[in-house]
Amino acid sequence: MALTVTLVSAEEEVWHGEASLVVAKTVEGEIGFMTGHEPVLAILAEGQVRITQTDGTKVTASAHSGFLSMERDELTIVAGHAALLS
């Protein structure tokens, strides 16, 4: 089982796919998500979102000015600005 992750900016969908781990920076600090995580709604802080895909490939994006929502193994990150770094 995997997380379904969607990262969007105000302009476009930046990344969508399945992941085994996602780490994001919120105003409360860094938080990691894996399957089975409790529901969360948090405000993004300026920083990086690190995504480990189910095949082990890592994707890094910058994201800030937005929020994230985790529910039923679906993580949605909505940022005012987001861009892939790798």
Structural domains of the chain, with CATH: 3-84 (2.60.15.10)
Q: What is the DSSP string of 24-54?
A: EEETTEEEEE-TTPPPEEEEB-SEEEEEEET
Q: Distance between CA 43 and CA 64 in Å, rounded? A: 9
- Triad 43, 65, 61: Cα angle to 5°: 95
Mean pLDDT, rounded, for 75-84: 97
Considering the chain, what is the average pLDDT of its residues? 97
pTM comes to 0.95
Mean pLDDT, rounded, for 14-42: 97
